[in-house]
Amino acid sequence: MTESPQPYRVLARKYRPQSFDALIGQDAMVQTLANAIRRDRIAHAFLMTGVRGVGKTTTARLIAKALNCIGPDGDGGPTIDPCGVCEPCKAIAEGRHIDVIEMDAASHTGIDDIREIVDASRYAAVSARYKVYIIDEVHMLSKAAFNGLLKTLEEPPPHVKFIFATTEVNKLPVTVLSRCQRFDLRRITVEMLEKHFAGIIELEGCTAEPEALHLIAVAAEGSVRDGLSILDQAIAHADLDGEGKVTAAQVRVMLGLSDRGAVRRLFGHMIAGETREMIDGLAEHYALGAEPLSLVRGLLDLTHAVTLAKVGRAVDPGLPEADREAMRGWANQIGHAALHRLWQLLLKAHDEVARAAMPLEALEMATLRICYAATMPDPGALARGLASTPELAPADAATPEAPANDDRTAQAEPATQGAPPPAPAPVEAPVEQPVDETPPWDEPEAADTPAPPATPVTPEVPSLPDVVEMLWRAGRGRLAQQTHDHVRPIEITTDRLVIARGDRIDDELCRDLADALGKVSQHRWTVTIGDGEGEPSLLEREHAAKARHEAEIKALPVVKAAFDHFPEAQLLPPLEPQDRKSAS
């Protein structure tokens, strides 16, 4: 009777790490556990967190082996390098050790399941040094189950160790987190995954192109298990070809990815604004099986790579020479602003394609928008070009030619070249002064000379801004603001103010104005409402001045040309000093 052949095991199970040395990408955790075991500072509860497939359950089993290993001679103690040949190591690796209990919290979520663990933890281990409870997906436990575990988790018997694994650590109660020694398992880098997959391909007796392994490592998104599942599928796909070699083209077809060269050509059409070629390329690759979302991701990856090359980062040497040459050319050709604008547009396109009921149509519309945006001129370059055009330069920027000077002008020209001639001094009418013929030594006594009559001083007639200023000095800020905004004066004298009728003008306002102005000027004021339109208020004058200023600015040739190119543009007011500081 012949024995049945060994059933096939997928790569993720076949190459599960059996020692901490085979665990890739988690050096910090391994170092911490090694030091804790050597110094006999082993925690009573461990929590493994991280994304799928980075080794949480594998690490939990390795910790159980490290704590219960007795060595080949049976006299060993806890070690970071379990022997793998003693009975506890073999039983734990095969999942049959009676003192290492694994529980899936997704299917055992209630308080009754936790009560069984609490009751069993009172008894010593049957054959191992420690009784180890591994609870996977621990975040699925109910609130009552967590509460039932808290006391035992805080003060477990010395022979019990708890190891929890979860992908959603934020769902665990803080009371549980505070009782565990937490390890955050990192995503595995693409370079580590490529090296790991290359070793497994060699052990499997197959061959693979480096670019194919790179595609698989990128698709794994930091998960070793996901990458091994894709690699397993790629090997099976390669066997159908008859050569037994995993190629990049086969991986792209298998994963529905777009060809790198195709993405490069699409990127070139997009930044050149070639809409017809862009749409034809999208349709061609969609017919070949490329998913629209993967095309957007490819364009995003390429934009990111070109931007990094723009800031001086070396192009990935693992890429084909054609890709590296194209990236360097685009980095020299496209500016930073255009690259960031392209990145934002592609991010928006990614969201639209992901949510769209018709992904291909959504991708076409998004890429058309990007093509048209790529052909638009840069606003800064446009402004500089307009400023450098002589016929569009501002009128006051040109220096007028000086008229030819005749002889008389040359004689009268001041010595300083280019300085404006001084304004002529105002000519005052001579005032005749009475002639005093009395010599200074024959002056009469002051007591005998009558004092001259005092010259009356005519008070200056105030203006409306003066009235507002007087109100501010009187401490009547609200009244001053109301006068500034709504009062239209008909007549202003030294003690009388006549204002036009209006919505905000009434007898009470007149009384308040007369009272406040009288207190400031120390004489009585009369404020009345008269007939007529009156002069504009100060607020209306400011609005009119602002409108005239904006009209003058818009009349400048450079600004007018800018508004012709951008009809929806707006003329913003200048920044205040505090706004400039915040903007910088």
Q: What is the mean pLDDT of residues 92-109?
A: 90
Boundary of a domain, candidates 376, 405, 440: 376
Q: What is the CATH number of the domain that holds 227?
A: 1.10.8.60
- Split at pLDDT 50, 70, 90, the class of 347 is very high
Per-residue DSSP letter, 457: P
Is the CB of residue 23 less than 8 Å from the CB of residue 61?
A: no
Is residue 105 domain-shared with residue 168, that is, in the same domain?
Answer: yes
> Long-range contact list for 496-499, CB < 8 A, 24+ apart?
496/525, 496/526, 496/527, 496/528, 497/467, 497/525, 497/526, 497/527, 497/528, 498/527, 498/528, 498/529, 498/530, 499/527, 499/528, 499/529, 499/530, 499/534
* pLDDT tens-digit map of 409-421: 334 344 334 444 4
d(Cα 511, Cα 534) in Å, to the nearest integer? 19
User: Are 153 and 80 found together in one domain?
Assistant: yes
Residue 103 β-bridge partners: 135
pLDDT average, residue stretch 533-551: 87
Three-class secondary structure of residue 496 per DSSP: strand
Which positions ≥6 away from 268 have C-beta within 8 Å? 326
Looking at the structure, tell me whether residues 143 and 18 fall in a common domain: yes
For the cut 90, the answer to whether the pLDDT of residue 9 exceeds it is no
CATH of the domain at 15: 3.40.50.300
Per-residue confidence (pLDDT) for residue 361, from 0 to 100: 92
Residue 152 lies in a domain: yes
For 432, other C-beta atoms within 10 Å of its C-beta total 5
Rg (CA), the chain: 44
Q: What is the mean pLDDT of the chain?
A: 80
- Print the domain residue range for 65: 11-184
What tokens were used for 511?
Answer: 């009384």
Cβ(52)–Cβ(222) under 8 Å?
Answer: no
What dihedral angle (degrees, nearest 10) is formed by the CA atoms of 56, 58, 61, 63? -70
Residues 218 and 160 in one domain: no
pLDDT at 441: 37
Is-above-0.85 flag for pTM?
no
pLDDT at 506: 83
Residues of the chain with pLDDT > 70, as a percent, come to 79
pLDDT score for 424: 44
User: DSSP assignment, residue 358?
Assistant: S
Q: Where is the domain boundary, 162, 184, 206? A: 184
pLDDT, average across residues 77-106: 90
97 and 203 part of one domain = no
DSSP state of 530: E
> Do 157 and 194 have their domain in common?
no
What is the pLDDT at residue 77?
86
339 lies in the same domain as 482: no
Structure tokens belonging to residue 456? 């009356």
CATH number at residue 491: 3.30.300
Domain assignment present for 526: yes
Whether residue 337 contacts residue 378, with contact meaning beta carbons closer than 8 Å, is answered with yes
Which tokens is 509 given? 């306002």
180 with 278, same domain: the answer is no
In a domain, 423, yes or no: no
Tell me which H or E stretch contains 71. Answer: none
Tens-place pLDDT, residues 521-531: 888 888 888 88
Least reliable range by pLDDT among 203-207, 288-292, 316-320: 316-320
Q: Could you tell me if 305 and 316 are in contact, meaning their C-beta atoms sit under 8 angstroms apart?
A: yes
User: Contact, 513 vs 478, CB < 8 A?
Assistant: no
* 229 within some domain: yes
Q: Residue 344's domain is classified under what CATH number?
A: 1.20.272.10
Mean pLDDT for 344-361 is 91
pLDDT at 256: 63
Quick one: 68 and 198 in the same domain? no
pLDDT at 372 over 60: yes
SS3 479: helix
Contact of 171 with 139, CB cutoff 8 Å = yes
State residue 351's pLDDT score: 92
* Res. 329: pLDDT tops 70: yes
What span, in angstroms and rounded, lies between the C-alpha atoms of 500 and 486?
Answer: 10
Same-domain check for residues 201 and 137: no
User: What sign does the CA torsion over 371, 375, 380, 383 have?
Assistant: negative
3-state secondary structure of 134: strand
Which two three-digit tokens encode residue 415? 């010595």
Confidence of residue 114 (pLDDT cuts 50, 70, 90): very high
Segment 22-42 mean pLDDT: 89
**Does any domain span residue 369?**
yes
- Tell me the C-alpha distance between 236 and 473, whole Å: 91
Answer whether residue 67 is part of any domain.
yes
For the stretch 219-272, pLDDT in tens is: 888 889 999 999 988 888 876 545 668 888 788 778 766 566 778 888 888 888
Average pLDDT over residues 132-146: 93
Residues 464 and 561 in one domain: yes
Q: Is 435 helix (H, G, I), strand (E, B) or coil?
A: coil
Report yes or no on 432 lying in a domain.
no
Of the three residues 376, 395, 411, the one that is the final residue of a domain is 376
> Is 51 in the same domain as 81?
yes
Q: Is 527 helix (H, G, I), strand (E, B) or coil?
A: strand
Q: Number of folded domains in the chain?
A: 4
Instruction: Kindly state whether residue 341 falls inside one of the protein's structural domains.
Output: yes
59-73, 128-142, 149-163, 436-450: segment of lowest average pLDDT: 436-450
Q: What is the mean pLDDT of residues 344-354?
A: 92
Residue type, 413: E
Alpha-carbon separation of residue 226 from 196, 215, 234, 396, 406 (angstroms)? 13, 13, 12, 69, 93
d(CA 253, CA 495): 94
